[in-house]
Amino acid sequence: MPHNMLLTGAAGFIGSHLAQRMLDAGWRVTGLDSLNDYYDVALKEARRDLLLRAPGFRFVHAKVEEPGLLRDLMATEHPDVVVHLAAQAGVRYSIDNPRAYVEANLLGTFELLEAARATPPRHMLLASTSSVYGANTAMPYAEADKADMPMSFYAATKKANEAITHSYAHLYGLPMTMFRFFTVYGPWGRPDMALFKFTANILQGAPIDVYNMGDMRRDFTYVDDLVEGIVRLVDVIPGSRAAVEGDSLSPVAPWRVVNIGNGAPVQLLDFIRAIEAATGRRAILNMMPMQAGDVPATWADSTLLNRLTDYRPQTDIAEGVARFVAWYRDYHGI
Ligand SMILES: NC(=O)c1ccc[n+]([C@@H]2O[C@H](COP(=O)([O-])OP(=O)(O)OC[C@H]3O[C@@H](n4cnc5c(N)ncnc54)[C@H](O)[C@@H]3O)[C@@H](O)[C@H]2O)c1
């Protein structure tokens, strides 16, 4: 019998890469997505259509927070593994549209947990974010650090998910891993993220908005590296073996949180130079102040990921950006 994954957010950036990887490995994947219009729906449909070429892929067009929908789906599908990536993402959008985060991130995760309580999978893995480190200044960010000062409502809903999943893991013995992703980028990426916007504007000769006057650092993670980390963690079921050094494994539940980041922060201006090199064009910089809700730097401590999976993300920024730009030109025919 092939393995069977339920993947929410399957038409999303990360979800579509993960789905393809699992299908290539012979898994059956049920991918759920609302295809909402937070960004270009045609891009989400194009990702989904590629996945539909694989006979092992089934698409469900629905919202995660629809009452009882996930419960019924899991009762029919009996997935071995559930990966929950569907969410309202984005720090800036959460300032004007906080309700979208309550619905997708809080109610949606609650519906999934209730479904898992009725039909327990072998392992559930859910997306959190480096944004939960919020106002922390000690770098690199480690899972064992306190992370109680979210700077945006987006981060607050993800932090709440970490607490809520822990309670279900404890009460119902459901093994769960929460990922803290650090600025993921690559082909088929998100139009609301800097790499996409910068590339589009640089290719058009339009200026790009550079926040905090360029004094920003991000730990960028190439999407194939991130997917490799996720795939390896699928088999690292919390509670099935003893904690490793520096583990975030809960003492009372089969639950842990794991950073997936490169562990090598890049200055924003160096990032822009990499896009200039890949496009062969000069960027016009529009220097701007810091944006509300944003943080000046992120830096992942990837020791725990490495101890658990023997893996460390490795794609460097020049190579990853070049692959994105090649995809961008091909997709847009420019
Ligand atoms: N990309 C990053 O840098 C990054 C960093 C940290 C955390 N994350 C998290 O990783 C996950 C995936 O992110 P992504 O970059 O692929 O984003 P994405 O927006 O491309 O993918 C999310 C998908 O979920 C779907 N979705 C949204 N709300 C839904 C709902 N209520 N019901 C069903 N589907 C819904 C969207 O249509 C979208 O296709 C998210 O949980 C995000 O918060 C991403």
Does residue 199 lie within any of the structural domains? no
For residue 79, the Cα-to-chain-centroid distance in whole angstroms is 21
The pLDDT assigned to 1 comes to 57
| 285 within a domain of the structure (yes/no) | no
Q: What is the mean pLDDT of the chain?
A: 97
Does a structural domain hold residue 225?
Answer: yes
Amino acid at 194: A
Q: Tens of pLDDT along 161-192?
A: 999 999 999 999 999 999 999 999 999 999 99
The yes-or-no verdict on residue 299 having pLDDT over 60 is: yes
Judge whether 328 lies within some domain. Answer: no
Instruction: Find the 40 Cα to ligand 1 centroid distance in Å.
Output: 13
Which DSSP symbol is given to 291? P
**pLDDT given for residue 21 in this prediction:** 98
Domain contains 169: yes
204 within domain boundaries: no
Q: Return the best residue to mutate from 16, 47, 129 for the ligand 1 pocket (most ligand atoms within 8 A of CB).
A: 129
pLDDT for the residue 293: 87
- The boundaries of the domain holding residue 247 are 4-182+221-262+298-313
pLDDT at 231: 98
Q: How far, in Å, from the CA of 63 to the mean position of ligand 1?
A: 12
pLDDT in tens, 129-167: 999 999 999 999 999 999 999 999 999 999 999 999 999
Residue-level pLDDT at 302: 96
| Structural domain total, the chain | 1
Indicate which atom in ligand 1 lies nearest the CA of residue 64.
Answer: 32
- For position 172, what pLDDT does the model report? 98
The CATH number for 92's domain is 3.40.50.720
284: in domain:
no
Cα distance between residue 93 and residue 294, in whole Å? 11
- Give catalytic status of residue 168 as yes or no: no
> Of these residues, 133, 141, 154, 168, which one is catalytic?
154
Question: Is residue 120 assigned to a domain?
Answer: yes
> Which atom number of ligand 1 is nearest to the Cα of residue 86?
24
To 5 degrees, how large is the angle CA 18–CA 142–CA 186? 30
